[in-house]
Amino acid sequence: MFARKFIDFVRNNLAIIIPIALVLGLVKGHWYPMEYSRAICISALLIMIFPVFINLEFDKGLKEFGDSKYSLFVATIFNFIIYPLIALGLGWLFLSEHPAMWLGLVLLSLVPTSGMTINWSYFTKGNMHSVMAIVSGGIIMAVITLPFSVPYISLLLMQEQASDLIVDKAVILEKLFFIIVFPILFGWITRKIIIKKKGYDFFKKLKPINGGISACGVTIVSFLVMSLKINQDLLNKPNQLLLAVVPVVLFYGIVFIVSHIVGNKLFDKPTAKSFFFGTAARYHVITLGVVLGTFKDYDFLGEVTLLVAMGLAFQIPALAFYAKYLNHRDEKLEKIIVKD
């Protein structure tokens, strides 16, 4: 009972807990710095990633590609071309003297949707066929593009700060198999067993618990990464920490406005909602996994992680606010229609 309450508390307050975990990790690392432990970090990654893919009904999304090809095409253009270019531009404006943080901002933009994208679309009465297609398509595109985009962008931005940086495509593919492909297969098998043994209604009741377990995993990873010995220099740079907030907030502000306008211009109301949640959200869980697996041996790991974690802390309340706005707007329209 206590465990369930604790998990729910972490899930519902993640926007506050993540910044606290980052700060506590730095403080803990200052007094008791931790060397990188593959076993500890992999365990935390498993807690963070597997529950998300148990919840994600990936096979259903694949079946929706045909009926949702237009919204999927437009979402793909924005998710993998336009929004990463915006992140790249904001990094150039604000973080050109801090290439690791610039890299974190760009990596933050490369993996679209999130574990909550489908839930937000359902909550706001969005087009569920479209959002399932966008989420599944986004994950497939991430697996295809990240082995090429991550090495290229990393070497481009970090060539001066880390001249010895080596980012191998094969290593990225290996990490993606561990972070995405294997969890999808494991999640699919686990979900099928649960539904077969207990029924679909029982599975739906498990979804919030799985989301809470993943939230605990994100918190643990954020704390562990910041407590690493290589990240303690960040404590001596408080201005740098504050500097990271500006481009993250601007990135989300621009993305939210563009996704809202484009969605309402091109699609009907339910599809516009799904388009928004499928393009405005970023999959921080996957990004954190890629970052930790790729840069664990480099002293700029904390700066990259900082931007990704800040994005997560900002995204959660921002999406919740937008969802409430949509429901409030729809309620007002319904009252007007009833009066007429």
Mean pLDDT by 10 residues, the chain (340 residues): 78 79 81 67 71 75 76 95 97 92 95 80 83 88 91 87 74 80 85 89 84 81 73 67 88 97 94 94 84 82 84 82 82 55
- 322-328 long-range contacts (CB < 8 A, ≥24 apart) are 322/256, 322/260, 322/276, 322/280, 323/120, 323/123, 323/124, 326/124, 326/273, 327/123, 327/124
- The pLDDT of residue 249 is 94
The amino acid at residue 116 is M
Distance from C-alpha of 141 to C-alpha of 174, rounded to nearest angstrom: 16
**257 within a domain of the structure (yes/no):** yes
| The total number of structural domains that make up the chain | 1
pLDDT at 105: 96
- Residue 231 inside a domain? The answer is yes
pTM over 0.85: no
- Is 258 within a domain? yes
In a domain, 223, yes or no: yes
336 is a domain residue: no
As given in the structure block, the two tokens for residue 324 are 């409430």
The C-alpha angle with vertex 165 and arms to 163 and 168, in degrees rounded to 5, equals: 145
The C-alpha atoms of residue 327 and residue 126 are separated, in whole angstroms, by 11
Residue 333 lies in a domain: no
Domain that holds residue 305: 2-328
- Side chain identity at residue 271, one-letter code: T
CA distance 35 to 37: 6
Contact assessment for residue 171 and residue 294, using Cβ atoms and an 8 Å cutoff: yes
Distance of CA 253 to the CA centre of its chain: 16
pLDDT digits 0-9 by tens, 197-208: 989 888 888 888
**335 in any annotated domain:** no
CATH classification at residue 275: 1.20.1530.20
pLDDT value at residue 267: 94
Task: Show the tokens assigned to 311.
Answer: 């994005």
